[in-house]
């Protein structure tokens, strides 16, 4: 097991050493946090053909929440300020 001293940037970013990144072909990692320990695990995300057919239907219930004319205060503001 290799160990590295990494610097955390002001934006909270770290750089994984090239020698370690090259060992994995994946572009995504899972970050697990337990107490004060961070663990990064490479993850492969694959979309199985046919799984996206009804994908848009999954979002429809969330749009019902936004479909409320009483919440259109910004729209009303912009319409009135344009006059």
pLDDT tens, position by position, for the chain (83 residues)? 889 999 999 999 999 899 888 888 888 889 999 999 989 888 888 777 766 667 777 777 777 766 766 777 777 777 777 66
- Residue 43: closest CA among 51, 52, 31: 31
Q: What is the pLDDT of residue 33?
A: 94
Q: Are 44 and 28 in contact (CB under 8 A)?
A: yes
- Global confidence as pTM: 0.47
Q: What is the pLDDT of residue 8?
A: 93
Alpha-carbon distance 73 to 83, whole Å?
A: 16
Tokens of 60: 């429809």
Alpha-carbon distance 48 to 46, whole Å?
A: 6
Q: What is the pLDDT of residue 32?
A: 95
């Amino acid at each position: 097991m290799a160990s590295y001293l990494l610097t955390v940037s002001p934006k909270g970013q770290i750089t994984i050493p090239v020698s370690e990144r090259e060992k994995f072909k994946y572009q995504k990692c899972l970050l697990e946090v337990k107490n004060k320990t961070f663990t990064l695990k490479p993850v492969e995300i694959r979309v199985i053909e046919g799984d996206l057919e009804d994908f848009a239907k999954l979002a429809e219930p969330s749009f019902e929440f936004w479909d409320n004319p009483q919440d259109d205060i910004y729209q009303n503001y912009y319409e009135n300020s344009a006059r």
